[in-house]
Amino acid sequence: MRFIVAAFLALAAAGASAQNYPNRAVRVIVPWPPGQATDIAARVIAERLQNSFGQPFVVDNRPGAGGSIGTDAVAKGTPDGYTLLAASSGPVSIMPNLQKTPYDPLKDLTPVSLIALAPFALVVNPNFPANNAKDLVALVRANPGKYTFSSSGTGATAHLISELFNAMAGLKARHVPYKGSAPALTDLMSGQIDYTIETVASVSGHVKAGRLKALGVTTAKRTSGLPDAPPLAEAASIPGYDIGAWIGYAAPPGTPREVSSRLAAEIQKVMQSPEVRERYAALGMEPISNTPDEMAGFLKREQERYGSIIRNANIKLEQ
């Protein structure tokens, strides 16, 4: 009887706490430097949550080790709803499949809601002898090992998205990794690389200026950042090809369900704002929101998918 009363009181206290949440500043840890995509997307939402809740949502940048330092800080944080993580594909869905991390993203984080999807685009030099994605697939498929594709680094999101494209399209091309997307795109524009799949945000300016040609986007729907580029699933005849980077909010393990659900509900309202949608469009991102349960299912699927890509392509990081 005593146990039942104690459990009831604990639940009542949690409910009351959630109703009063937040009653002080909330810290949003971004495991990347200021100005990076995850940082910008998280700040856009933090500003709106601050207005909605009437409490500061303070962004705390903790970059390092590919995002794992900041992610681990939240995984080991106090589960009271006052520490949140600007989570993203790299340290959550990809890195644990490539190397040992001090956290298990499926056990050591409480999902809150996705906040953005970042589509990628297949781009080539304007002089490349393919006018569309089907032409590129036919050309590369007919010449295994002849053509090259670049990425921002071995094991980077762009690399894995490219490997999935190559596998589904039946292509054998040589991977040329760079230290960042900027040098990779520079060599693509100079004709030293044949094709690249990179974020719409990083290539759209070059496409509009005529320095690159976009043959399609990696998501199932067109994106406002490159409205004329068709989905590669259709343009390259590879049904089911639908992938991109993601950004979301998460919290330490054990964060009360009432708190994560309340945050998710508010994020859903924020995403209806025309200002937020316009801001994301300018950043080459697509706004999205979901429930904690939906995000949990999404994270499980993403980790399994990237793990499969890594195993099938035998990708290993240099030690």
Q: How far apart are CA 135 and CA 139, in angstroms?
A: 6
Domain residue extents for the chain: 2-117+245-312, 120-235
Is the pLDDT at 8 greater than 60, yes or no? no
Is the pLDDT at 7 greater than 50, yes or no? no
Q: How far apart are CA 86 and CA 70, in angstroms?
A: 9
Is the pLDDT at 195 greater than 50, yes or no? yes
Give the pLDDT band of residue 17 (cuts 50, 70, 90).
low
Report the range of poorest mean pLDDT among 16-20, 39-43, 208-212, 288-292.
16-20
- Nearest Cα neighbor of 28 from 3, 45, 15 is 45
Q: How much is the pLDDT for 15?
A: 47
pLDDT digits (tens, 9 = 90+) for 73-128: 999 999 999 999 999 999 999 999 999 999 999 999 999 999 999 999 999 999 99
| Domain boundaries 120-235, corresponding CATH code | 3.40.190.10
Q: How far apart are CA 115 and CA 39, in angstroms?
A: 12
Structure tokens at 45: 């939402």
Q: How far apart are CA 250 and CA 306, in angstroms?
A: 20
Q: What are the residues whose beta carbons fall under 8 Å from the beta carbon of 317, sequence distance 6 or more?
A: 98, 99, 154, 155
Give the pLDDT band of residue 319 (cuts 50, 70, 90).
low
Q: How much is the pLDDT for 56?
A: 98
The CATH H-level (homologous superfamily) assignment of domain 2-117+245-312 is Bordetella uptake gene, domain 1 (3.40.190.150)
